[in-house]
Structure 1
Amino acid sequence: MGGFPGGVRYPIEGRTSAPVLPFASSLRLPDETPMATRYPLILVDASGYLFRAYHALPKLTNSKGEATGALMGVVSMLRKLIDEHRPDYIGVVFDAPGKTFRDSIYPEYKANRPAMPDELREQILPLQEVIRAMGLPLLVIPDVEADDVIGTLATRAAAQGIPTLVSTGDKDMAQLVGEHVTLVNTMTDTVLDSAGVEEKFGVPPERIVDYLALMGDSVDNIPGVPKCGPKTAAKWIADFGDLDGVIANADKITGKVGENLRAVLDQLPLSRELTTIKRDVALDLEPADLRPAPPDRETLRGWYERLESRRLLATLKDADTDAAQPADAETATGSKPSQDYEVVLTRDAFDAWVAKLESADLFAFDTETTDLDYMRAELVGLSVSVEPGTAAYVPVAHVYPGAPDQLDRLKVLERLKPLLEDPDRRKVGQNLKYDMSILARYAIELRGIAHDTMLESYVLDSTATRHDMDSLAKKYLDHDTVHFEDIAGKGAKQLTFDQIPLEQAGHYAAEDADVTLRLHRALWPRLEAIPSMAALYREIEVPLIPILSRMERHGVRIDPDLLAAQSAELAKRIQEIEIRAYETAGRRFNMGSPKQIGAIFFEELGLPVVAKTPTGAPSTSESVLEQLAADGHALPDLILQHRSLSKLKSTYTDKLRQMVNPDTGRVHTSYHQAVAATGRLSSSDPNLQNIPIRTDEGRRIRRAFVAEPGNRLLAADYSQIELRIMAHLSGDERLLAAFASGLDIHRATAAEILGLAPEAVTGEQRRSAKAINFGLIYGMSAFGLAKQLGIERGAAQEYVDRYFQRYPGVKDFMERTRTQAHEDRYVETLFGRRLYLAEIGHSNQSRRAAAERTAINAPMQGTAADIIKRAMIATDHWIQSERPPVRMIMQVHDELVFEITADAVEAAAERIRSAMESAAELAVPLVVDIGVGENWDEAH
């Protein structure tokens, strides 16, 4: 009997990117499939499908005598599964030929299984070719079983909050069931969630492995307890908790079955190991990589003709008919959503679109402008979409030669103003903070922000991708957007948007609105499936959008004359350092050239080589310079000073003056919500987070941030917030008591680990304790502590050991967090923000250790970020509702800065302190330090 040609070419296949899904539900309305049964990811036990189809269906052959029954049965089951659930992602997983790791553990594993019938084996490779042609991601991973691959992917998906359906008839898979993982048996149409597993087997999913180990498996030749059936296994687990409990209480079980149990106690751990599905297979793909490709219809036609299946050929004809019909983006049949984009140039067309917006439950909105700088950008046009695949661009200021007449900008905005300002008209956008700032230039206050796709993606997984539209469209829609450079060019000759012809600009702009709406429909169901993250998104990130927009537009006043004087002083000091450096080196050299510095250090001065570059050359990195300077070498210290002062001059004292807006006399930074993985805000142009605070030169730069005449700057800074969060999370009694008593935590720590009275602690001892307190929550090792304190590593290790002896709760918290991070592959803040740890299980020890350090620090740093955001929201609510003479103008790390009229400072300080200290309820009090001055340095 002949077999089909073909075979498995790669261990992992089906990862080819495609412009659309053949059966995607990511473009469907969220309520088309109830969330209770909506599974973005389906994992198929294809080997199980094949065996069941072979034994349950007629043994069909084609006219050449080739077996076809099992193959067609599996294809039919796959099609039915897809039609019913319309997943975004799917993985079809086969067992790889050959032995697995379980055979190494137990050579008799599956020894009793009969050989696979030839007529079944001959259908495997053809079936895999058909699956590929269907566009389905196919996985065949050596050394493990399909169950292990499915277990790993399901576990990763669950960690990301992705509801997952595992299609299998294998009872072993019940151990995977949980909050985000459900089983379905396609043959019987039975669905098992956690309650269903317990009802069917008598034990919850987390005890299925113990249940299976007790019963054993004659088919897989896994030894169990003789005569121990399902009811007995379930009863023992109910009585004693788990397999370990059964083993520990074996002497209490009477009768013959008790004797049988005691006779096999030594082999039960092996049985448990054999029945445990691996959840950490080293796969180089994630659930989101399992996006299907469009079907290869011609290849499928060839296979279906070979199979002589009129029914399968008819499905291709139906698909061809559907493809000939007008595209309907809501049906998600597998054809690419139509791009029905309109450039609106007449009043009638505009009125028609306004009517659509007025009747829409939610519409996507985007602006096109002349500049990225929200303080000087002019509106060129705006785009809207109310349903996927349909969008409009309304140009109002394209000025290239031959540009057609366009609607008047002010009249368009006047007509849209009621819609845009209506809080009940729900809008979605991509980075709506920018659009809000643009509209504010035309006296429109954007309200009704329901969603922002940039923030949906960021909250869902801050590290999975960049959160710009092009990246999100590719990742979540597998759609290649038109990039700005495609229509505007690059470099000095790049056109501004008002110079781009409408033939290109219209499609580009309309696509922005269309893709935004499609992204929202793909992202929101996934975010909504994780209630804590959805709440964080709704209650923290979205409300922060207008607050940041107002802060940016108000800006902060700069004293350019003071900066100019500082630049001159820095230039003089830099020149003095250069002269001293040349004298020390014995000649002039380029202080910015590592090559020249290296030659002087190691060839001419004979300084010791501390470290080498990857190419083997002596390193002159900053850490090397610091070590050489600490050892008393003058030239490295001078170069460090030169670098530090040069950076201050170029980055701040020179550049800040150039960034002052001529209309406002202030600098206007941009705050970024979707950059830092932990949830912290970042800023750029200027970067306020990096202005030095520990040096006098850095503090002098802060003196140039000044209040308007008659006003004061008020800086409100959380005191040791991450240490307080550590006390809360760890529950360590001594740490809690120290904070509750209002002690100086660093002095208290020094007293604890040195066995001194707090008043006996010296300044140097307090400094060491401070380094330990902050270093440990950032994962600092004894080696790092020794380097920071300038002490021997052994002494540093003794400090660390004493710390954990006095604060055992902290050590327990770190160990718990590390363990939980390995299990879940993410950690959470107190408010439900997740940080996924892609490298927590990495085979490289250093990368794994780095992920573990992140796991320990992220809950504290992320919770601190959430708390200050909540404080901003509470403070802004007071400002907006009562309208005091107060402006929130900066957020830097754990600090908020306000500009307040001089006579209102005292009353405002109390309201601000109250709002910030009540932003979270911890086991220790939140404390806010407040300072006031005419400039930022005085206030801080």
Structure 2
Amino acid sequence: MNEKIVLIDGHSILNRAFYGVPDLTNSEGLHTNAIFGFLNILFKILDEEKPEYLTVTFDVHAPTFRHEMYADYKGTRKPMAEELRQQVPVIKEVLEAMQIEIVEQAGLEADDLLGTISRTCEEKGMEVSIISGDRDTLQLATEHVKIRIPRTKQGRTEVTDYYAADVKEAYGVTPTEFIDVKALMGDASDNIPGVPGVGEKTATKIIQEYGSIENAYAHAAEIKPPRASKNLQEYWDQACMSKTLATIDTRAEIGFDLEQARFGNPYTKEAHDYFQRLQFKNLLSRFDVEADTNAVEDHFQEVTDTGLLERIFEEAKKSAAVGIAVSEDGGNVLPLFAHASGYGRIAVCYGEEQIYSIPCDMDMDMGYLFGKLCEVADAVERFVMFDLKKYLPELPITRREHCFDATVAAYLLNPLKNDYGYEDVAREQLHLLINEKADASMRACYEAYTAYKAAEPLTVKLKSAGMYDLFTEIEMPLLFTLYEMEQAGVKIEGEALKVYGDQLGARILELEKEIYELAGETFNINSPKQLGVVLFQHMGLTGGKKTKTGFSTAADVLEKLAPDYPVVAKILEYRQLAKLKSTYADGLANFIGSDGRIHGKFHQTITATGRLSSTDPNLQNIPIRMELGRLIRKVFVPKEGCVFVDADYSQIELRILAHCSGDAQLIQAYREAQDIHRTTASQVFHVPFEEVTDLQRRNAKAVNFGIVYGISSFGLSQDLSITRKEAAQYIENYFDTYPGVKQFLDEQVAHAKKNGYVVTLFGRRRPVPELKSSNFMQRSFGERVAMNAPIQGTAADVIKIAMIGVARELKEKGLKSKLILQVHDELLIEAYEEELEQVKAILQEQMEQAADLQVPLIVDMHTGKNWYEAK
């Protein structure tokens, strides 16, 4: 049997994979969908072909000979999408790691390389398979050269094969004649103009009859239809040029060494490392080779000897830095000796060779081990862990300023990721790939080692990015403040919650009956499909949006219809109340602890802007727009002898905008304590301040807050139910009134485009990769992000500073009152009645002095016997 070579059109297959596979990114933010799709096609082909030789060709992004011949068509190809462009060098590195030959040459397209190599190999008596998504390559098909064109359908890759006979059967022309068909019909995607008015069907018929464009031109008067005859004669030069552009060069001058293309074992250690970095876990199973053991594993040691353990802790105390990991796996530990928290093992690292895993046992239970860790934390200069807050219930550390949370540090450097675990940090900061087959003891050692080793590069990068002070003075102190808030929790009046749920349930039943009466039938209100049919088909409501699956019943669609159709208004109310009942009335009950309090979780590594998020339950989404929603706050109550004090920043983002923009008029309005929305209305609508109507003020308020979020004229027109032209005029008038704001927002977008990120007043960076997207909507979103993130991020920093200050002052003054909740710009204190005035003074001072702005920070403060009254 003849030897076989597989030739792959690199850019063509990569491009096909990019558009056929949904967007993927790895933890470094690298788009990987094209690479993933390419590799899947590659492996499918290799499994089927089992070739002796393999080569991948790539275009070099320089003018090619064929296109350079014709100046009008030089460089007119559509530019490659940025998300695809960044994957090209990576796939080349992956192929090199797999020891796969790559051929590319300036001045030659990939298909010229394919054509020349395939001809050379066929002449050597070899079988050739060309893998390409480009039909142009069909002209290369012979009895021994097979063209394989992959297509992705419903997530599966199917490959159609063409020898010369198959081309003739499928297209009615020979491979050589296929060139002439394309010369006549043209190809806009490849900038081949063809002959106007001649489509594929007509072009094929002409070439079937005359065999070539030259012969067709010689018989042009006979060609039908007349328009094709006329245009072929009129555009003959263009047809000749198109044939030149469409013809693949099979005798190009290239340097190709067949022996270099011999296919060996692609599953190398280097390739394995790349697949791990790219997070293609389902492809790693193809690797039979074991990943080389990391040298650091040689120093992993499991310790069960009490004497050695004591020496380890004593040595750790004398170290400059210590990395710690806590594992839920206890090895061969009996449940009797496992700690109540479920943790059964710790790992300690304080040097390149001092990496120890310690399971709890009869002599060393977890309580003892945590006690030892506290001693270490209080002695060393840097105590490093991942997700430190999780372990603080077991670690009452007193010298908190020495703690370093590697998770928080990694988050600050890239707040767009979803995961900041030790494996990611090891790979990104230490170029260390964790052995996938490591057992629990080894994994604990890896985590402790990564914590120890990564602290320094994380510190260097934070300093380089100007975020080290943000880390040490805001994020790390805040971690302990959040922990104390979680421990304190908030009391819930269980009976009141049940009554509230019953009230919602009764109103929901009422609404169901009213909706059915107005609709004239019963149906599942929670089914978007049934609801769409009832509203827009049975009832004939106008203004519906038809989608592939039926009529849209999304909130934005229904909200526009609600003023004109009572049934729609009731459906919207029904939805709101149903969510209130399931999420809060019923949902909150599941989180009430044995002490009658909810101890939710606050997260500082979730949002890209730096805002905190809340889970178990999410207390930051408690409704405030509708009265029945606000009533849920009545079930949040202080313990006996206490009252709630609620403090909320007044228009903090607009005040930050005034400061950052330096706009004189906006700053003056705030310094003079004017009604900012009425002031804006007066300027935007050109009416005296005293004559501003309530509607004008509401509209100005929408403009004020919309500007902060980079609102467009379309968005504002939707919000205010006005024409886009009117909305554009509102925005133009606003920027005329506050020119400093326009300049500031433009500068933020320009900064993001140049540097890839924007920055808050306190140095927090928010990357804006969307600005490099090839998608217009994504770029527009990126511009809005660039405008808003510095404002929203600064507001997040300010409230964090205030939280730290409030918690610190309550402690230092020896008060029993506690900070228990934070919801965006609002803080809630459970204050002992006898400490009320002191608490109010602390709140006001710490919140209003959290940042030194050109305009005053103002706090609205209320007290009450429940959260509803205090708000």
TM band (smaller chain): 0.5 to 0.7
8 Å Cα contact 1:427-1:448 kept in structure 2: no
Once residues 689 and 730 of structure 1 are traced to their aligned partners in structure 2, the CA distance between those partners, rounded to angstroms, is 29
Q: Which amino acid aligns with 2:836?
A: V
Q: Once the 2 structures are TM-superposed, how far is the Cα of residue 477 of structure 1 from its aligned partner? A: 4.9
Q: What residue number does 1:156 align with?
A: none
Once residues 67 and 662 of structure 2 are traced to their aligned partners in structure 1, the CA distance between those partners, rounded to angstroms, is 42
Does residue 384 of the first structure (1) align with residue 318 of the second (2)?
A: no
Q: Which amino acid aligns with 2:415?
A: S
State the secondary structure of the residue aligned to 1:557: strand
Q: What residue number does 2:504 align with?
A: 570
Once residues 425 and 540 of structure 2 are traced to their aligned partners in structure 1, the CA distance between those partners, rounded to angstroms, is 53
1:355 to 314, 317, 335: 314
8 Å Cα contact 2:488-2:820 kept in structure 1: yes
Q: What residue number does 1:267 align with?
A: none
Structure 2 portions without partners, runs of 5+: 15-57, 75-91, 109-267, 273-290, 331-338
Does residue 367 of the first structure (1) align with residue 326 of the second (2)?
A: yes
Once residues 410 and 582 of structure 2 are traced to their aligned partners in structure 1, the CA distance between those partners, rounded to angstroms, is 35
Residues 474-873 of structure 1 aligned to structure 2 (within 5 Å): 474-477=427-430, 481=434, 504-530=439-465, 532-608=466-542, 610-613=544-547, 615=548, 617-630=550-563, 632-662=564-594, 664-873=595-804
Q: What residue number does 2:358 align with?
A: 394
Once residues 662 and 470 of structure 2 are traced to their aligned partners in structure 1, the CA distance between those partners, rounded to angstroms, is 24
Q: Once the 2 structures are TM-superposed, how far is the Cα of residue 863 of structure 1 from its aligned partner? A: 0.5
- CA deviations on 1:865-912 (whole Å, 9 max, x unpaired) are 111111122222222322223211111101111111112211221222
Q: Once the 2 structures are TM-superposed, how far is the Cα of residue 680 of structure 1 from its aligned partner? A: 0.6
- CA deviations on 1:111-152 (whole Å, 9 max, x unpaired) are xxxxxxxxxxxxxxxxx99994699999989899xxxxxxxx
State the secondary structure of the residue aligned to 1:840: helix
Q: What residue number does 1:455 align with?
A: 408
Q: Structure 1 residues 512, 13: CA separation in 2 closer, same or farther (over 3 Å shift)?
A: farther
Q: Which is worse superposed, 738-747 or 784-793?
A: 784-793
- CA deviations on 1:691-710 (whole Å, 9 max, x unpaired) are 01121122211111111111
Q: Once the 2 structures are TM-superposed, how far is the Cα of residue 657 of structure 1 from its aligned partner? A: 1.9
Q: Once the 2 structures are TM-superposed, how far is the Cα of residue 564 of structure 1 from its aligned partner? A: 0.7
Q: Which amino acid aligns with 1:752?
A: Q
- CA deviations on 1:593-614 (whole Å, 9 max, x unpaired) are 112112212221122353233x
Q: Which amino acid aligns with 1:419?
A: V
Q: Structure 1 residues 416, 797: CA separation in 2 closer, same or farther (over 3 Å shift)?
A: closer
8 Å Cα contact 2:345-2:358 kept in structure 1: yes
Identity of aligned residues (%): 35
Once residues 603 and 377 of structure 1 are traced to their aligned partners in structure 2, the CA distance between those partners, rounded to angstroms, is 57
Once residues 852 and 143 of structure 1 are traced to their aligned partners in structure 2, the CA distance between those partners, rounded to angstroms, is 38
Q: Structure 1 residues 888, 130: CA separation in 2 closer, same or farther (over 3 Å shift)?
A: closer
Q: Once the 2 structures are TM-superposed, how far is the Cα of residue 461 of structure 1 from its aligned partner? A: 1.6
2:366 to 389, 409, 414: 409
Does residue 340 of the first structure (1) align with residue 299 of the second (2)?
A: yes
2:390 to 434, 438, 443: 434
8 Å Cα contact 2:317-2:375 kept in structure 1: no
Q: What residue number does 1:927 align with?
A: 858
Q: Once the 2 structures are TM-superposed, how far is the Cα of residue 385 of structure 1 from its aligned partner? A: 1.6
Q: Once the 2 structures are TM-superposed, how far is the Cα of residue 105 of structure 1 from its aligned partner? A: 13
- CA deviations on 1:369-421 (whole Å, 9 max, x unpaired) are 499xxx98344332222235753232227xxxxxxx55233433444442234
- CA deviations on 1:564-619 (whole Å, 9 max, x unpaired) are 11000001011111111222222221111112112212221122353233x26321
Q: Once the 2 structures are TM-superposed, how far is the Cα of residue 511 of structure 1 from its aligned partner? A: 2.8
**TM-score of the two chains, using structure 2 as the length reference:** 0.66
Q: Structure 1 residues 821, 651: CA separation in 2 closer, same or farther (over 3 Å shift)?
A: same
8 Å Cα contact 1:556-1:668 kept in structure 2: yes
Residues 162-177 of structure 1 aligned to structure 2 (within 5 Å): none
Q: Structure 1 residues 95, 798: CA separation in 2 closer, same or farther (over 3 Å shift)?
A: closer
- Equivalent pairs, count: 625
- CA deviations on 1:336-366 (whole Å, 9 max, x unpaired) are 5325333332212311321331222111113
Q: What residue number does 1:467 align with?
A: 420
Once residues 678 and 381 of structure 1 are traced to their aligned partners in structure 2, the CA distance between those partners, rounded to angstroms, is 35
Residues 868-879 of structure 1 aligned to structure 2 (within 5 Å): 868-879=799-810
8 Å Cα contact 2:11-2:59 kept in structure 1: no
- CA deviations on 1:833-885 (whole Å, 9 max, x unpaired) are 11111111222111100000010000100000111111122222222322223
Q: Structure 1 residues 619, 101: CA separation in 2 closer, same or farther (over 3 Å shift)?
A: farther
Q: Which has the higher contact order (CA 8 A, sep 6+)?
A: 1
**TM-score of the two chains, using structure 1 as the length reference:** 0.61
- CA deviations on 1:48-99 (whole Å, 9 max, x unpaired) are xxxxxxxxxxxxxxxxxxxxxxxxxxxxxxxxxxxxxxxxxxxxx9975655
Once residues 421 and 814 of structure 1 are traced to their aligned partners in structure 2, the CA distance between those partners, rounded to angstroms, is 46
Cα RMSD of the aligned pairs, angstroms, is 3.9
Q: Once the 2 structures are TM-superposed, how far is the Cα of residue 6 of structure 1 from its aligned partner? A: 12
Q: Which amino acid aligns with 2:364?
A: L
Q: Once the 2 structures are TM-superposed, how far is the Cα of residue 676 of structure 1 from its aligned partner? A: 0.6
State the secondary structure of the residue aligned to 1:526: helix
Once residues 753 and 104 of structure 1 are traced to their aligned partners in structure 2, the CA distance between those partners, rounded to angstroms, is 58
Once residues 507 and 528 of structure 1 are traced to their aligned partners in structure 2, the CA distance between those partners, rounded to angstroms, is 32
- CA deviations on 1:637-659 (whole Å, 9 max, x unpaired) are 22211111111111111121221
Once residues 889 and 137 of structure 1 are traced to their aligned partners in structure 2, the CA distance between those partners, rounded to angstroms, is 62
Displacement over 6 Å in runs of 4+: 5-9, 11-14, 100-107, 128-131, 134-144
State the secondary structure of the residue aligned to 1:700: helix
Q: Once the 2 structures are TM-superposed, how far is the Cα of residue 9 of structure 1 from its aligned partner? A: 7.4
Once residues 143 and 837 of structure 1 are traced to their aligned partners in structure 2, the CA distance between those partners, rounded to angstroms, is 35
State the secondary structure of the residue aligned to 2:297: coil
Q: Structure 1 residues 717, 383: CA separation in 2 closer, same or farther (over 3 Å shift)?
A: same
Once residues 592 and 785 of structure 1 are traced to their aligned partners in structure 2, the CA distance between those partners, rounded to angstroms, is 30
- CA deviations on 1:640-692 (whole Å, 9 max, x unpaired) are 11111111111111121221110x32111111110010011111011111001
Q: Once the 2 structures are TM-superposed, how far is the Cα of residue 825 of structure 1 from its aligned partner? A: 1.5
Q: Structure 1 residues 596, 817: CA separation in 2 closer, same or farther (over 3 Å shift)?
A: same
Once residues 453 and 780 of structure 1 are traced to their aligned partners in structure 2, the CA distance between those partners, rounded to angstroms, is 36
Once residues 322 and 59 of structure 2 are traced to their aligned partners in structure 1, the CA distance between those partners, rounded to angstroms, is 43
8 Å Cα contact 2:713-2:728 kept in structure 1: yes
- CA deviations on 1:803-827 (whole Å, 9 max, x unpaired) are 1221122112222222222111211
Once residues 676 and 777 of structure 1 are traced to their aligned partners in structure 2, the CA distance between those partners, rounded to angstroms, is 18
